[in-house]
Structure 1
Amino acid sequence: MKKNLLTIVALTSFAGSVMAQLPVSTTPQNKSAVLEEFTGIYCGYCPDGHQIANTIKNSNPTKVVLINIHAGGYANVAVGEPDLKTTEGTAINSMTGMNITGYPAGDISRVVVASAAQQTAAPYGMAQGRNKWTTSVNSILTQTSYCNVALQGTVDVNTRVLTVVAQVYYTANSPVSTNSLTIFLLEDKVIGPQHNYGTPYYNAANYNADGSYNHNHVLRKGLTPTYGITIPVTTMGTTFTTTATYTIPATYGAAGKTNPCLLGNLELAAFVTETDRPTITGANGPVMLSGFANALDIATTNMACDPFVCSGSNFASSFKFTNMGSTPVTSAVFSYSMNGTATGTINWSGNVNSMTSSQTVTVPLINFTALPSNTITVDVVSVNGSNDQNAVNNLGSKTTILTTAIANSINMQMDFTQDQYGSEDSWVVYNEVSNAIISQDGPFTDLAASGTLLHTKTFTIGANTCYKLVVSDAYGDGVNSGYGVGGYSLKSGGSPIITSNGQYGTGETKLYKSSASVGIGAVTAGNINAVNIYPNPTAGTTNLSVDLRQNESVSVSVLNAIGQEVYTLKSANYNAGVNTISFNTENWAAGVYFVNVATANGSVKQKLTVNK
């Protein structure tokens, strides 16, 4: 693993020296407000907090610093989701005197305002609810600051080494013995999910077309210790300068929960505190990019499509691209192919700055003959009307395989087990080609407490047809996340063909296909739920699926068209549920046979066709 290097070098100078020429102002100013916003992907009210904070920032663009800290229980994410927590953010979230009682929360320059605090009794706390932020920020902005702060950074796009220079200038003496300077690295447009309780959605403009959310001002790394470095001299006329270097990793987050870091979306924040509180003033600073090898260079990324294919009709796929060149990308042409056959081109237009990513680009629907393994490929044809100067990263591809889920009976049954929050859950089966709804169920009724409830629904399908099962959870935590162990099983003729443990987040899509000649399951008044024969027709080994309501003694006999018995299974004991009995028809003559499954409480007769 490549080690991230973090070093700090500090210099002290006085007004009039060469370091005073850096961008820090020497003119007395009012304070800038620093809003540390505590948030999380699973916090449904947090998008409202994001919107309130952005409104405050937009009203005071140079005087408000926003730092979004993902911390607390709502920031704990599942595997496959972006982990945006940091050690620094976790520490600040639980620092003495913060006293967070709910999310979203925010402190305004780490000041305790009793009338605005989330904790409504002494000793109150720095954390405030989102409805208090605007008033508290406006109050800070009217106060005189005894220092100013400014900073900027440069990152080499090849080595990803960031160098930051920050300055603090004292327009008056600090009234306390210890001042600290904290520098944070932030990132905008970090893509991920975001729960939302708003109707309509809070901060809807931050959602992308694919339903993902742009997380902004995300705290990525402290470039100083969490509560800063000590400023050695804090008297009027003093300029303090510090330099930090840091190698930015390609991704952040815990294993299985990583998310990419795009250099073009980075920004800096710095603020001065009296030890660790209150915050006196702060500033944002830019991260400038250097070291580009090419002006026009885009990399195809994030190829996406369903992992399985069935009919090959209306096949959907998409991709993104990253601008690796020094020039903004305003137009591009892409070609796409399926299984090596050129299919079409895509003309894209927009604006993607250096070292940032595009929105999702949708590939037109493709119709093709599905193979056991199929590959969709996208290639770059041109960038801004010219050739891409680096062809190495132009190609993107994704493989999808033919579904192995086969329904051998027209009789289908969906056993769906909800958790406590059934109102979030639903499922639909579509004809994959026509998109016609075949069957559906849900949302369901919530339970009074944590637990489960089974919902069973039956329906029928046609032969040699592709179907699509779409299962959805409105909250995004499936039906097995601590409120009951739910899940589902889709059965054909009593045999499961698709199952889930319920841990599917916002939902999942599964494909299956009915066989060319599906068996006909039958139900009797006895203890036999269903009988299914597959494959049917057959030329060799045939499977007999018998679904029993309870433990039962079962016998099987097979007669040909003139009533002669060609196969017999004497009575044997079988357990409740689906039991499979296999027999070989290789030596049987071609023709129609009748399979009789009998118990003491009823029997089922099925037709079997043998081909040669």
Structure 2
Amino acid sequence: MMTLKKYLLLVLAVGYSFNSCDVIEEPFLVEKGVECDFCDAFIFPTQENYVKKVLLEDYTGHTCGNCPRAAEKADELKETYQNQLVVMAVHAGWFSNSSNSYPTDFTTDLGDSWNEHFGNSQAGNPNGMINRIDFPSSHIFQYTQWEQKIVEQLEEDPIVGLQIKSSYDSLLNVICIDVQTKILSSLSNEINITVVLLENKIISKQTDYAAENDYIEDYEHKHVLRKGLNGAWGEPIGDGLHTVGQLYTHRFCVDKNADWNASNLTVVAYVSNPETYEVLQAEEIHLID
């Protein structure tokens, strides 16, 4: 139920789409930022046994006739590796252009920035990255190579752990997200946290060279990148000196776009090295349980 406090805070919130901040609460490291006061506080359970999780980025487009094969491979890998694999479909480049025949715009500023930086569409879709390893010379992999790279990454011990809590207030139309990062190994380099929203079950036309007439009118698009909550490269976690056991919490709030189905949204967070871009850990939850 919307309280008077929430209503007044909503009025004050009009005029900006989202803010991010770090929760200031013991025993978390104190960091400054604008708080999302209309979001209720989340409580994270104590967790000790984190497992390594891998981010698979599938660079695709709705006019790419071979891209459904890569999507099928991503589904197969997700079925195999379950919650240790986070899949994100990035629509960027020429194959993602919308038209009268393909009116849905799946592109995002975030995806465009990544595509320009990593050169995925220029390399020829479909392709992808696994934890963004081997940048800048050998970071783009064909979908037939994905599983081998995933297995190699899963053999590594996690050096950070992630937990996500989220909620959606349909009256305020506000999505609230907290992400907790736990340091599992001593680190002397900077690390960044990036948070994005994905959407599943989007029905829209897709070119498919294996289909009759080379397209599927009611194709189901999955894991579609919808929005970044703190920029293309995220934001720093702490001050660059991290000791085992340290906890950091970042908070985000964003208005839900009218085109998004809240029931189909997932929240993805990942920690990366800002110098090499390598993803060190990833996590994903459904926005609404």
Q: Does TM-score exceed 0.5, indicating one fold?
A: yes
SS at 2:263's partner residue?
A: helix
- 1-structure distance, mates of 2:200, 2:210: 22
Greater strand content: 1
Partner of 2:229: 223
Is residue 8 from structure 1 mapped to residue 20 from structure 2 by the alignment? yes
Partner of 1:287: 287
SS at 2:117's partner residue?
A: coil
8 Å Cα contact 1:42/1:75 also seen in 2: yes
8 Å Cα contact 1:45/1:196 also seen in 2: yes
**1:20-55 alpha-carbon deviations (Å, 9 max, x no partner):** 9614733353x2110111100000011100010111
Partner of 1:163: 176
SS at 2:230's partner residue?
A: coil
- 2-structure distance, mates of 1:99, 1:218: 16
- 1-structure distance, mates of 2:42, 2:260: 33
The gaps in structure 1 that reach 5 residues or longer are 114-122, 251-259, 290-612
- 1-structure distance, mates of 2:117, 2:247: 29
Partner of 1:131: 144
Is residue 55 from structure 1 mapped to residue 55 from structure 2 by the alignment? no
- 2-structure distance, mates of 1:112, 1:236: 27
Distance verdict in 2 for CA 1:22–1:38, change over 3 Å? same
Partner of 1:235: 243
Partner of 2:6: none
Partner of 1:117: none
**1:153-196 alpha-carbon deviations (Å, 9 max, x no partner):** 1111222200001111111112x421000000010011210000
Partner of 1:416: none
Distance verdict in 2 for CA 1:100–1:25, change over 3 Å? farther
- 2-structure distance, mates of 1:197, 1:232: 48
Partner of 2:203: 191
The letter of the residue matching 1:262 is N
Distance verdict in 2 for CA 1:23–1:71, change over 3 Å? farther
- 2-structure distance, mates of 1:199, 1:191: 16
| Runs of 4+, deviation exceeding 6 Å | none
- 1-structure distance, mates of 2:116, 2:138: 11
- 2-structure distance, mates of 1:200, 1:217: 25
SS at 2:73's partner residue?
A: helix
Distance verdict in 2 for CA 1:173–1:99, change over 3 Å? farther
- Correspondent of 1:94 among 116, 124, 138: 116
Is residue 76 from structure 1 mapped to residue 97 from structure 2 by the alignment? yes
Is residue 148 from structure 1 mapped to residue 147 from structure 2 by the alignment? no
8 Å Cα contact 2:120/2:128 also seen in 1: no
The letter of the residue matching 2:185 is A
Partner of 1:275: 274
- 1-structure distance, mates of 2:268, 2:222: 13
Distance verdict in 2 for CA 1:280–1:157, change over 3 Å? same
8 Å Cα contact 2:42/2:165 also seen in 1: no
What does 1:433-452 correspond to in 2, within 5 Å? none
- 1-structure distance, mates of 2:155, 2:122: 26
The letter of the residue matching 2:248 is F
8 Å Cα contact 1:32/1:141 also seen in 2: yes
Cα-Cα RMSD: 2.6
Distance verdict in 2 for CA 1:98–1:192, change over 3 Å? closer
8 Å Cα contact 1:97/1:125 also seen in 2: no
- 2-structure distance, mates of 1:42, 1:90: 16
SS at 2:62's partner residue?
A: coil
SS at 1:197's partner residue?
A: coil
8 Å Cα contact 1:14/1:237 also seen in 2: no
- 1-structure distance, mates of 2:207, 2:119: 28
8 Å Cα contact 1:180/1:231 also seen in 2: yes
Offset of 1:126 from its aligned partner? 1.3
The TM-score, its normalising length taken from structure 2, stands at: 0.82
**1:572-602 alpha-carbon deviations (Å, 9 max, x no partner):** xxxxxxxxxxxxxxxxxxxxxxxxxxxxxxx
What does 1:578-593 correspond to in 2, within 5 Å? none
8 Å Cα contact 1:66/1:217 also seen in 2: yes
**1:445-500 alpha-carbon deviations (Å, 9 max, x no partner):** xxxxxxxxxxxxxxxxxxxxxxxxxxxxxxxxxxxxxxxxxxxxxxxxxxxxxxxx
Offset of 1:275 from its aligned partner? 1.1
Offset of 1:124 from its aligned partner? 2.5
Partner of 1:106: 128
- 1-structure distance, mates of 2:171, 2:162: 29
The letter of the residue matching 2:205 is P
SS at 1:125's partner residue?
A: coil
Percent pairwise identity? 23
Name the larger-Rg structure.
1
- 2-structure distance, mates of 1:21, 1:146: 23
Distance verdict in 2 for CA 1:33–1:201, change over 3 Å? farther
Higher relative contact order, structure no. (Cα contacts within 8 Å, ≥ 6 residues apart): 2
SS at 1:66's partner residue?
A: strand
Distance verdict in 2 for CA 1:3–1:218, change over 3 Å? farther
Greater helix content: 2
The TM-score, its normalising length taken from structure 1, stands at: 0.40
Offset of 1:130 from its aligned partner? 0.9
SS at 2:99's partner residue?
A: coil
8 Å Cα contact 2:23/2:250 also seen in 1: yes
Partner of 2:34: none
8 Å Cα contact 2:42/2:178 also seen in 1: no
